[in-house]
Amino acid sequence: MTVAVRRAPVAVLGGTFDPVHYGHLRPAIELLEGLGLAEVRLVPGRVPPHRATPSRPPALRRALVAAAVDGVPGLVVDDRELQRPGPSYTLDTLRSLRQELGPERPLCFALGSDAFRGLAGWHRWRELIDYAHLVVMTRAGDRGVLPTALRDWLSDRETADPAALRTAPAGRVLFHPVARLEISATQIRRLLAHGRSARGLMPEAVWRRVAEEGLYGYPQP
């Protein structure tokens, strides 16, 4: 019997990144190493369907993500959602990545456990798994209480084995614990709007741009 040898999975981490911070980067690095991924693509959304429009324009959020991952092996910025008009539906993003990667390459979509609990409200959510595995990032393994519809859907798709992400291009759900740093973009926007520093909460290259260009209301020098 021939066993197909697949290449290491590519993962996608979506978000508004308004702005990017270590709370985004640390989980991305833990996924990369913990799951033996080829790369994690950080995908800034243009118009997220499930939340308020980001406070800053796509080009700026993208540029800050690019500065954050510059020189970090395995992390890249992917701006396909910024190229598309209309709401940034994850299904469209995964389809377009699938097209780019071909039918065999394992692809993972990483999302927080809070987002996963609301998955049944997403645009054509049942189809997501046709294009990618789902990796649910938990805090210390806590998956919370899942709605019944999601629990039933999960029952024959969940795996506890990260190796399962390599043996098929898509179709499995893995819960994976990652660090949750006490940092949020909301907290950072608030600090900056009050003229306070966000140094240490984000890579120094991002902070330098924020400070030098007076972004997010931070007083310009």
Mark the segment that binds ligand ATP (CB under 6 A) among 4-12, 84-92, 126-134, 181-189.
Answer: 181-189
- Shortest distance, position 42 Cβ to ligand ATP, whole Å: 9
User: Is 68 a binder of ligand ATP (CB under 6 A)?
Assistant: no
Q: Are strands 158-159 and 107-112 parallel, antiparallel or unpaired?
A: unpaired
- Three-state secondary-structure class, residue 82: helix
User: Is 112 a binder of ligand ATP (CB under 6 A)?
Assistant: yes
Restricting to residues 120-149, name those near ligand ATP by CB under 6 A: none
Reference 138, options 148, 130, 146; nearest CA is 146
Chosen residue from 9, 27, 58, 106 binding ligand ATP by CB under 6 A: 27
Chosen residue from 11, 17, 62, 162 binding ligand ATP by CB under 6 A: 17
Chosen residue from 9, 11, 16, 202 binding ligand ATP by CB under 6 A: 16
The b-or-e profile of 202-213 (16+ CB within 10 A means b, else e) is bbeebbebbbee
User: Is 81 a binder of ligand ATP (CB under 6 A)?
Assistant: no
Nearer of residues 6 and 139 to ligand ATP, judged by Cβ: 139
Mark the segment that binds ligand ATP (CB under 6 A) among 17-25, 63-71, 123-131, 167-175.
Answer: 17-25
Rounded distance, CA 32 to CA 37, Å?
5
- Three-state secondary-structure class, residue 29: helix
Chosen residue from 181, 191, 205, 211 binding ligand ATP by CB under 6 A: 181
Rounded distance, CA 160 to CA 136, Å?
11
Chosen residue from 11, 18, 40, 75 binding ligand ATP by CB under 6 A: 18
Judge whether 190 and 205 are in contact, CB under 8 Å: no
Judge whether 41 and 11 are in contact, CB under 8 Å: yes
Rounded distance, CA 28 to CA 9, Å?
13
Nearer of residues 11 and 185 to ligand ATP, judged by Cβ: 185
The residues that touch ligand ATP, with contacts defined as CB under 6 A, are 15-18, 23-24, 27, 111-112, 115, 180-181, 183-186
